[in-house]
Every structure is written in structure tokens, then in C-alpha cells.
Copies of this chain bind each other. A is one copy, B any other.
Amino acid sequence: MIEVSIIGATGYTGAELLRLLSNHKEVEVKYITSRKEEGKHVFKVHPHLKGIKKYENLYFTNDLDKIDADLIFTATPHGASMEIVPDFIERGIKVIDLSGDYRFEDISLYEKYYKIKHKGLVDAKIAYGLPELHRKEIKEAQLVANPGCFPTGCILAVAPLVKEKIIEERIIFDSKTGVSGAGINPTETTHFPNVNENINPYKITTHRHTPEIEKELKKLGNVKVSFTPHLAPITRGILTTAHTFLVENLDREGIIKIYEKFYKDEIFIRIFSEEIPKLTWVRGTNFCDIGGFEIDEHNRLVIISAIDNLVKGASGQAIQNMNIMFGFDEKEGLFNVGLHP
């Protein structure tokens, strides 16, 4: 049994950590923090958690100095994590950071896309927390940078192709995301009448997840990543349509075999050779479902991936990373069935 604390537990990813940890046998939640909700009971801020025995004495605090734990999740905004993580690291605490602050080995890339001056990486082992590609580093890391939601779905969709070098460099990711990805705070972007009956492309060529996807895929092979996200009138889920171009004459079955081999030990990757993945199949779960595998007359190979942006795209993956770091069963707290329909 370990103790964990969550910095920034009022938002969607914080709440989702609490939802998933409520079933986790090896974890107690010690502290949860919030600037705005200090002193409030967790059920007051997150009424859907009401009834969870484990949380009956859990109140929000804002006193970061007293926070300790075996592991701290920082569900803080970009730029805020780097203000607090170094101290935790120094105190010997393991950290899983859900922000973008530690995702880039090359902080100049971060600074270019996040338009924030970086305070520098910490003096500890950092891993990029995508278990399917970096399980060994995660196991040994003190700090895990939890991947972005889009990168998770995009990278997993094409990693086998890039590694096998059977596609052209140029990859186009056309992603459709649910609105929970925009966070818990209301904005014009999340205003119901603006979202409903619309599909809204945004940051068409400038989304900061683009370099994250590209730098990770480059570890596997040569790529030039183009990425465009769209906000869809759904709450949870990211469906990614990856448009790639085959350089070799491979058929559908051959490609499916490559995926099945690449992911053969991965319990959270489901390969669908017949059905097309649906977001409701992964809803609430840590699965990344992959399907499509169709080739058109111009050698375009289309891969479809589906994740729940708040689970495999954020809090679920963070818990998967925790399970790896502490040697727990990797699916503890996570192995659920998608809430379909």
C-alpha cells in the first residue's frame, strides 16, 4: 500500500485520478490540493464521488509544503508544474506530471511551442510515460512525464509502421476530440451552442502536440508529422485518423500482423482486424483501440485509433505508469469495460 497525493485535483484529470484510484487496492489518497476549493470536502467539489468510503475524510488543502506521499501526481497547468516538481524531486518523492513541462528532452522545442521560458529539467531520471514504448525507462524513473492526449492516440496508431519503415516519412493525423479535453473551465470554445451541431477545427497547423508526436516517432524512424485537431460535440474520446502512405507492397493482412506482433504483450492495446473502433468501446477505460488498416488506390494506408482522452489520454495512463513504477499489476484500478452504449 502506498500513499499518493494529487496537486490540482479540481479539474477533470484530477477527478479522473480520484475515480480510478477509488478502486485501486494498493493506493491511499493522502492529500488533494486546490487554490480555489481549499477546505472543501472532496464530495462537495466532485459530487459524483459521493459514497466512496475511501474518500470520506478527504478535504482539499492548499498548503503545498506539508504535502508528502510516496508518489505525487501533478495535474497542474503547463508552466505551473515546473514551479513545484523540482522540490518534490529533491525531497525524494516520485512524481508523475500530467502537464507538458517535462515531455521534451529538448527544452528549446518546449519553449518554442509553449511560449514559456523553461526552468530546466530536474536532476533525476525522467521518462516519457508511454508504457508501450518506454516501459523500462518508466520503471526506473523518478519523474514520469505523462504524454499528451493527442500524442497518445497518434503515436500508438502508427508506431509499428514507423518502426518497420514501411511508410513514407509524411504522416497526417486528423484527430477528433471530445470537449472534456478543453478542461473544466467554461470558455467560448466549450460553450454548448458553439460546439453542438458543429465540428470545429482549431490550431489547424500549430497545435503544440505536433512536436511531441514528431519527436517520439523520430525515435523509431524518419517522420514528418502533420497534425490537425477538431473539436467534436462529444464529451470524452479522441478518434484519430492517421493517413499514411505505404512504400512497400504490403496487403492488409500483412499490416495487421505487424500490429499484432508489435503490441502482442500490451494489455491496453486492442487490435481490431474487422470492426472499426468506436469511442464508446473505450469510454471510461485505459484501452487504445486500433483498427482500419485499409489501403486505397493511391497507396494510402489508413489507421484509426480510439482512446478516452481522460483515461488512456491522461489519468488512466498516469495510473498505468504508477503501477509500473511501483511494481503493481499494470492493470490494477484500470481494467474496465467501455461504457457502451
Contact = CB atoms under 8 A, between A and B. Distances in A.
Interface of A: 12, 15, 18-19, 22-23, 47-52, 170, 172, 174, 176, 178-180, 184-188, 190-202, 204-206, 210, 224-226, 228, 230, 232-237, 239, 241, 243, 245, 267, 270, 272, 275-276, 278-284, 287, 292, 294-298, 300, 302, 304, 335-341
B48 A197 contact: no
B200 A190 contact: no
25 contacts: A18-B337, A47-B278, A50-B281, A51-B267, A51-B335, A170-B298, A174-B241, A179-B193, A179-B196, A196-B234, A196-B341, A197-B237, A198-B278, A199-B232, A199-B234, A199-B239, A199-B279, A205-B295, A205-B300, A206-B296, A226-B243, A226-B296, A228-B243, A284-B339, A339-B339
A300 B227 CA distance: 10
Nearest to A55: B337
A276 B338 CA distance: 27
A302 B47 contact: no
Contact of A52 (B204, B232, B279, B337): B337
A185 B233 CA distance: 18
A185 B190 CA distance: 11
A205 B302 contact: yes
Contacts of A198: 234, 237, 239, 278-280
A236 B197 contact: yes
Copies of this polypeptide in the complex: 4
A265 B233 CA distance: 34
Contacts of A233: 192, 196, 232-234
B340 A48 contact: yes
Nearest to A341: B193
Contacts of A188: 186
Contacts of A302: 201, 204-205, 228
Given A197-B283, A341-B180, A341-B194, A226 B298 contact: yes
A213 to B, nearest CB: 12
- Residue among A23, A199, A297 having the largest count of chain B Cβ atoms under 10 Å: A199
Given A204-B292, A204-B304, 17 more contacts: A19-B337, A176-B232, A178-B197, A179-B193, A186-B190, A190-B192, A191-B192, A197-B197, A198-B280, A199-B237, A201-B239, A205-B294, A205-B296, A210-B296, A226-B300, A228-B302, A233-B234
8 closest cross-chain pairs (CB), A and B: A193-B341, A205-B296, A48-B281, A186-B186, A186-B191, A174-B174, A179-B192, A48-B340
